Structure 1
């Protein structure tokens, strides 16, 4: 057996004799399993509730009696965002962005009923998900397992004894890296098995699961390598532990919370009140589409009369008020879309600033990679908003066209069309985008993790050379 394998085997034996380390490792593995199964159960319950509520509101819409189409425009529809298959593993921003939108005419509503707003402060600190355990707690365990891997040998004098037997410092470093690299993968194995089982059942695709497993494997290996390298750079184990704990606190706890605050100060978002005031001012400038006599629509009236070749509104084959509603919806939709685009651009600028700092805090990189593959990132939320808005616009305009085309044939003071028309209106079906449709959201964090591993490998080579010189 090669010296590298012998050193790795000896390291495993030493760790097996460490009862505290075994207990902590067992608890972390148990925590990953508990988090996985509770998250799966919670996801199934929430998804069932949303499907039931969606079916209920769709049925209520279909059962509406004969009405004027514009009343149905204001009656509106509720739509619920389905949960992505891998969102049980990493809930991402889903708990903070809302999951329900009320679709109605003349207005673009935001998503409501975010779970974090209805939960305790303890829950807002971080939900117990497999991603949270692997991202935050697993590095701490790997630090406690690896901080004394080489410094312990130096303190006991066994490092010089191995050197006297012809074992090179490079072989010692490789043996320790091998030992703790295997341990890191074993710690992540329960989560990897859960993901693989989820893919094997067809609930998620292997094309998404395998990159997620690879990303977390790189993340865990990163901390295993870092622990061994720092242990080789310091003479005393307690110094190595202090440095590693400091790196963990800064990279995992401090920076991921400070950077969003910095981004918010650099690129500020308008408050809800400021946004509403600006929107109401712009909406007032375009007139009131509920009033066919509004001065803004004078030019529109002339265009309609010219288009149909008639002299007065009364001669139109369609209802002019319905045409005004169509035009008004087009204008208000443009205003809301412009406001939403500006807001999302600012939020993207904030996120870009945070992601740029993933070079010094790889936790940001693994979070971005994990959320993107799980379908719980901010881009997926934006996609849901865009699909719902496109559906809302078509839904409202279809009702407006019913008003314009069907009402003239009914007449009366309170004209209504048959309830059968409500049942012909399509229902909202969300099509989740592929995470690979946004390659930059995957390539950059993957490159950061790989870059850290390469840099730490180079540092390990330098540390082994330095260790070799010290042993001469």
Structure 2
């Protein structure tokens, strides 16, 4: 019996012009997000490759010993994966590059929110943001009256009098609404899975990405249909579901982030640098002060190369480093 109920829900949804318009809007937004994500991915990968090549060429064109090369430094970039097309994560806030230089502790840089207040205000349009915020809204508008409308129209008791159980009714509504949502998001999920076959990213990760969102939509569908079953009117059901969406998708993340910031505040860069300097000069895990570590290192190198002393004033040229390798390190 639940299959008959599910089929009825599917037919009713596709005969509803409002749902068709909502489906076209979601398809359009997902298409724009996929195209924009693909373009951003290609641009970011090109920029990182060009920057990495430039740094390597600059270092290779100049004759440097290891000590001066360490002070010259370089940049490291966060690796890009195929899933960055659909979910940029926190890169826009934490940055994507890190400068490596001897004796210095740098911070992550190139966070796009520093140069764009639009990202801070509205967030970045991506497949993940559409899946997390807009698709649940479609589920709510699709399911809020699935059971309550039967009660208001007087067909609820008729269905029960004909032998239909409450379990079959509820699961039929859930199955029908979930299939409708799958039809809406199927083109995007198919694109993600097919592209995952031709990317360097593990196909397991891509599959987990898709499965996680399918489970997320199922939870919203079950919650919406059950709310419609509990509420006596469709208006009450819609109000409850919209309130739940506001709480779980908009208000709760901000409150959680605010509580985390107040309970576990991040250190300033100045405080962090002071702690790094303190550990550098005083040691970590009882490994001794800077002077003690230096003497221990010198003794180890002297013993390794079977030499008795270090000439600190006449440094050996780089071409003679095999004879006096320690001179290059001082």
Q: Same fold (TM over 0.5)?
A: yes
Distance (Å, rounded) in 2 between the aligned partners of 1:181 and 1:68: 64
Partner of 1:247: 244
Contact 1:76 1:105 in 2 (8 A): yes
**Given the alignment, which residue of 11, 14, 18 partners 1:13?**
11
Partner of 2:286: none
Deviations 1:291-328, CA, capped at 9 Å, x for gaps: xxxx974995698579859xxx9x83564898xxxxxx
Distance (Å, rounded) in 2 between the aligned partners of 1:271 and 1:126: 25
Partner of 1:62: 60
Deviations 1:370-413, CA, capped at 9 Å, x for gaps: xxxxxxxxxxxxxxxxxxxxxxxxxxxxx9x969946969xxxx
Contact 1:77 1:102 in 2 (8 A): yes
> Secondary structure of the equivalent of 1:92?
coil
Distance (Å, rounded) in 1 between the aligned partners of 2:118 and 2:75: 28
Deviations 1:218-239, CA, capped at 9 Å, x for gaps: 1011111111111111110000
Distance (Å, rounded) in 2 between the aligned partners of 1:285 and 1:9: 72
Contact 2:76 2:100 in 1 (8 A): yes
Partner of 2:225: 228
Partner of 1:4: 2
Deviations 1:252-283, CA, capped at 9 Å, x for gaps: 11111111211222222221222223444555
Partner of 1:129: 126
**1:413-432 aligned within 5 A:** none
Count of aligned pairs between the two proteins: 317
Contact 1:70 1:403 in 2 (8 A): no
Cα RMSD after superposing both structures: 3.2
Q: Show structure 2 runs of 5+ residues with no match.
A: 284-288
Partner of 2:158: 161
> Secondary structure of the equivalent of 1:101?
strand
* Structure 2 residue 192 is the aligned partner of structure 1 residue 199: no
**Given the alignment, which residue of 158, 173, 176 partners 2:173?**
176
Distance (Å, rounded) in 1 between the aligned partners of 2:250 and 2:272: 33
> Secondary structure of the equivalent of 1:82?
coil
* Structure 2 residue 184 is the aligned partner of structure 1 residue 187: yes
Distance (Å, rounded) in 2 between the aligned partners of 1:78 and 1:299: 28
Alpha-carbon distance change, 156 to 105 in structure 1, aligned in 2, over 3 angstroms:
same
Q: Show structure 1 runs of 5+ residues with no match.
A: 287-294, 323-398, 410-472
Distance (Å, rounded) in 1 between the aligned partners of 2:240 and 2:293: 72
Distance (Å, rounded) in 1 between the aligned partners of 2:211 and 2:296: 64
* Structure 2 residue 26 is the aligned partner of structure 1 residue 32: no
Partner of 1:457: none
Partner of 1:114: 111
**Given the alignment, which residue of 263, 273, 283 partners 1:276?**
273
- Deviation, 1:103, is 1.4
Alpha-carbon distance change, 165 to 67 in structure 1, aligned in 2, over 3 angstroms:
closer
**Given the alignment, which residue of 73, 76, 79 partners 1:79?**
76
Contact 2:37 2:86 in 1 (8 A): yes
- Deviation, 1:180, is 0.7
